Amino acid sequence: MIRINKRGYDAFGVEPDDDVYETGQRSTTALELRDFGEEANSRLPKWGTERGSDKGVEVAATYVMSNTNPSVLGDNTHTGVFIDGDDPVLWDPAGNYTHREMGSGRALYGSEFSPEDYLRFQLTDGPDVTVRKFNTTPEQEAEIKKRIDDIGGGGFLTCTKNVTEAISGIGPFGEVEETWWPAKLDNQLRSLDKHVGEANDVQGLRHLLAKKNRLGASK
């Protein structure tokens, strides 16, 4: 067996003249060497796991809802946005979604809101509703929330304009241009190809919400 002593000391704890490993009989088998190597590897730090270099850094997410069902304005019914994570918020500017805790700014904070319920409400207009998910950092989400507070509830037909003002230039929304039309905004978001998932029904949205979000991970 190979016996490895503490580096810089011999078997009796005496510091030798030179830095060597003391060895005994060299009858070690290949199997024993393999076992020794596996044990040594198991003691090495898990750099890839600890740093998340392969899978990205876990983050929350921002979701943009585009209701493009037919209306008097064409395929442009409504746009909303919500953020999950430790400090969630749902914003329905110039919208009709109601909740007992929703203020005049059309924003709902904390655990009171249900993304699934919000999607169900939009689907009452028809099936043409798309929720796109974007990985965002806490800093990016804080900036979006600040803009939401600054903009407030908005006026008539300003839902999409307000949403673009809230997200444009931030993280994955860096190239989003201002528009008043839900269909145009959704086309922008799809073309930019920065979203990490999408849903068109409640079951699909539940899947997106349950999936862990990692910044820097592949789609």
- Per the prediction, the chain carries an average pLDDT of 78
Least confidently predicted of 87-96, 98-107, 181-190: 98-107
Beta 57-67 vs 213-215: how paired, if at all? antiparallel
Both ends of the chain: CA-CA distance in Å?
Answer: 49
- Tens digit of each residue's pLDDT (9 = 90 or more) over 46-59: 433 333 444 455 56
Residue 22 pLDDT? 43
Task: List the one residue out of 165, 183, 173, 2 whose CA is nearest residue 93.
Answer: 165
Average pLDDT on 106-134 reads: 92
Pairwise CA distance, residues 100 & 5, whole Å: 71
pLDDT at 87 over 60: yes
Least confident residue range of 59-73, 102-116, 178-192, 199-213: 102-116
Q: In the structure encoding, which two tokens stand for residue 52, read together?
A: 């998340």
Integer Cα distance of 123 and 167 in angstroms: 23
In this prediction, residue 109 has a pLDDT band, given cuts at 50, 70 and 90, of confident
Q: What is the pLDDT of residues 159-202, one digit of tens each?
A: 999 999 999 999 999 999 999 999 999 999 999 999 999 999 99
Q: Tokens in use for 162?
A: 């307000």
pTM for the structure as a whole: 0.70
